[in-house]
């Protein structure tokens, strides 16, 4: 029996895929353990979205090797897909494999052990990213929510992003398969399904289906109480999807929308498919139909060519916009992406300065959003108890709640008056 431990970095997609990879392992040959000290192999599911994400992976390799000097480390995921030669240099790394071959992990480890195909420092050559297959993935979080992958890859090739090269071209599951997976999750006890993907709104485009069609059928799943949409491009968040969310009691009033830049100049350099006017109209449209909606926005600061004037305009745009809070990313070159060759790069110190200002702005906007609902009663899905004994969970519009109760509230949805 081979003991294996896992460590996952990055997006919810990675977490759902890790769960599916674990489920695919032959339980007669592999035993998944929590403590790396007990493991023969440690699997790191890597991320490459920023320099910082790659740095965390390298730090993890060093830490694991120090904790268990005899362990064999296997790197899978986006970092290993794009830069395997960097990872092969580490002494404890047995082999690396990319985003296609990782779904064959059990067989690859067996090959390594048997010394038939894989030897130390062997690189698994993944298929060309243009020809990646689609692999369904599902993961459970605290048995209350299920993260359900419905789409993978991206055809957009924004100038800052390496994800299309790491994840491949856009491809989707079928509506029937998604419905079956979601139904199984509900039968397993999940109250909420979080729909995930790289470019979620592109679901079904190549299959003659659509994201709206999927949502229209998912709301009919018996026993499913909540559907939460993860990040979706503003140009793909259609009017009909917004209207469906407005009338459905199952689709949560919570939208995570990438903006990425607050000026048309930078959006154009990024090759985004909208401008600030379109984005503003989209937020207005959401709030017209769903006034209580939480709107989270992704923003990159320090993009090449973003000068101080652009940054001040971005601050003004964010301050005046109707967003609830920000997810802030500091720009870093991805050598696969076009922007890595752009001139007028910002200094690291300046990017850090701008990031801090944006984080403060986001915190203030989040406080204002949460305070709007003080004293109101909203439904909360409770997940776990914290160290103080309070039950914690999330409202439909994604406000974090702590609640005193002597009852077992795990995986229960209750109407709670917000403080």
CATH number for the domain harbouring residue 208: 3.30.750.210
Q: What whole-number distance in Å separates Cα of residue 419 and Cα of residue 412?
A: 19
What average pLDDT does this structure show over 39-50? 96
User: What is the number of domains present in the chain?
Assistant: 4
Are 287 and 225 within one domain? no
| Per-residue pLDDT tens over the stretch 70-81 | 999 999 999 999
The secondary structure of 159-175 as a DSSP string is TT--HHHHH-S-EE--H
CATH of residue 324's domain is 3.30.750.200
| Per-residue pLDDT tens over the stretch 297-338 | 999 999 999 999 999 999 999 999 999 999 999 999 999 999
Are 281 and 360 within one domain? yes
pLDDT value, residue 128 = 66
Are 94 and 198 within one domain? no
What average pLDDT does this structure show over 341-359? 98
Mean pLDDT across the chain, nearest whole number? 94
pLDDT value, residue 123 = 53
Residue finishing a domain among 251, 282, 297: 251
pLDDT value, residue 392 = 97
Q: Report whether pLDDT(130) > 80.
A: no
Are 101 and 133 within one domain? no
Could you tell me how far CA 228 lies from the centroid of its own chain?
Answer: 13
- Best CA proximity match to 298, nearest among 261, 340, 337: 261
pLDDT value, residue 398 = 98
Q: What whole-number distance in Å separates Cα of residue 286 and Cα of residue 281?
A: 9
DSSP β-bridge partners for residue 329:
300
Pairing of strands 171-172, 192-196: unpaired
pLDDT value, residue 50 = 92
Q: Under a CB-based contact definition with an 8 Å cutoff, are residues 302 and 328 in contact?
A: no
pLDDT value, residue 85 = 87
pLDDT value, residue 120 = 45
Tokens standing for residue 42: 């440690």
Are 121 and 138 within one domain? no
Are 239 and 273 within one domain? no
Are 388 and 363 within one domain? no
Residue 164 phi, psi dihedral angles, 5° rounding: -60, -30
Q: Report whether pLDDT(133) > 70.
A: yes
Q: Return the beta strands (E) in 184-270 as ranges.
A: 192-196, 226-229, 254-260
Q: What is the DSSP letter of 199?
A: S
| Per-residue pLDDT tens over the stretch 105-123 | 999 999 889 875 554 445 5
Q: What whole-number distance in Å separates Cα of residue 304 and Cα of residue 302?
A: 6
- Best CA proximity match to 350, nearest among 310, 301, 317: 301
- Best CA proximity match to 43, nearest among 28, 24, 52: 24
Q: Return the beta strands (E) in 59-196 as ranges.
A: 72-77, 93-96, 122-123, 137-141, 145-149, 151-152, 171-172, 192-196
- Can you give the three-state secondary structure of 254-317, one letter per residue? EEEEEEECCCHHHHHHHCCCCCHHHHHHHHHHHHHHCCCCEEEEEEEECCCCCCHHHHHHHHHH
pLDDT value, residue 121 = 46
Domain enclosing residue 62, as ranges = 2-126
Are 237 and 134 within one domain? yes
Sign of CA dihedral 359, 364, 367, 373: negative
Are 230 and 342 within one domain? no
Are 110 and 216 within one domain? no
Q: Report whether pLDDT(126) > 70.
A: no
Residue finishing a domain among 126, 152, 179: 126
| Per-residue pLDDT tens over the stretch 216-267 | 999 999 999 999 999 999 999 999 999 999 999 999 999 999 999 999 999 9
Are 227 and 336 within one domain? no
Residue 157 phi, psi dihedral angles, 5° rounding: 55, 50
Are 15 and 90 within one domain? yes
Q: Under a CB-based contact definition with an 8 Å cutoff, are residues 343 and 304 in contact?
A: yes
CATH of residue 92's domain is 3.40.50.2300
What average pLDDT does this structure show over 340-348? 98
Residue finishing a domain among 126, 151, 175: 126
| Per-residue pLDDT tens over the stretch 168-189 | 999 999 999 999 999 999 999 9
Q: What whole-number distance in Å separates Cα of residue 86 and Cα of residue 78?
A: 13
């Amino acid at each position: 029996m081979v003991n294996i431990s896992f460590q996952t970095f990055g997006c919810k997609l990675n977490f759902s895929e890790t769960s599916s990879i674990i489920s695919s392992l032959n339980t007669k040959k592999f035993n998944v353990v929590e403590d790396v000290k007990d493991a023969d192999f440690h699997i790191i599911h890597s991320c490459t979205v920023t320099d910082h994400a790659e740095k965390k992976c390298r730090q993890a390799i060093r830490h694991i090797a120090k904790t268990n000097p005899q362990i064999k480390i296997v790197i899978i995921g986006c970092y290993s897909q794009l830069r395997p030669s960097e990872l092969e240099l580490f002494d404890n790394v047995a082999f690396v494999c990319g985003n296609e071959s990782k779904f064959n992990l059990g067989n690859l480890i067996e090959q390594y052990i048997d010394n038939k195909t894989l030897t130390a420092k062997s690189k698994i050559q993944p298929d060309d990213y243009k020809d990646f297959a689609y692999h369904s993935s599902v993961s459970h979080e605290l048995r209350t929510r299920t993260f359900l992958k419905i789409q993978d890859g991206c055809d957009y090739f924004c100038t800052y992003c390496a994800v299309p090269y790491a994840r491949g071209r856009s491809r989707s599951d079928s509506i029937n398969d998604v419905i079956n997976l979601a139904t199984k999750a509900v039968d397993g006890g999940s109250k909420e399904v979080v729909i995930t993907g790289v470019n979620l709104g592109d679901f079904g485009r190549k299959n003659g289906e659509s994201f709206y069609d999927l949502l229209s059928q998912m709301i009919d799943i018996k026993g499913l109480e909540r559907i939460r949409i993860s990040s979706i491009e503003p140009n793909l968040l259609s009017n009909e999807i917004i209207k469906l969310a407005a009338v459905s009691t199952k689709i949560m009033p919570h939208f995570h929308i990438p903006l990425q830049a607050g000026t048309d100049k930078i959006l154009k350099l990024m090759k985004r498919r909208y401008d600030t006017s379109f984005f503003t109209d989209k937020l207005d449209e959401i709030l017209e139909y769903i006034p209580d909606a939480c709107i989270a926005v992704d923003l990159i600061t320090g993009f090449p060519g973003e000068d101080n004037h652009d940054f001040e305009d971005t601050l003004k745009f964010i301050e005046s916009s109707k967003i609830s809070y920000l997810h802030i990313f500091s720009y870093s070159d991805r050598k696969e992406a076009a922007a890595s060759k752009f001139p007028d790069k910002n200094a690291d110190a300046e990017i850090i300065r701008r990031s801090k200002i944006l984080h403060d702005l986001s915190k203030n906007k989040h406080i204002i959003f949460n305070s709007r609902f003080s004293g109101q009663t909203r439904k909360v899905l409770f997940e776990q108890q914290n160290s103080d004994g309070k039950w914690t969970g999330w409202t439909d519009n994604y406000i974090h709640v702590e609640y005193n109760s002597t009852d077992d509230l795990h995986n229960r949805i209750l109407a709670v008056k917000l403080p």
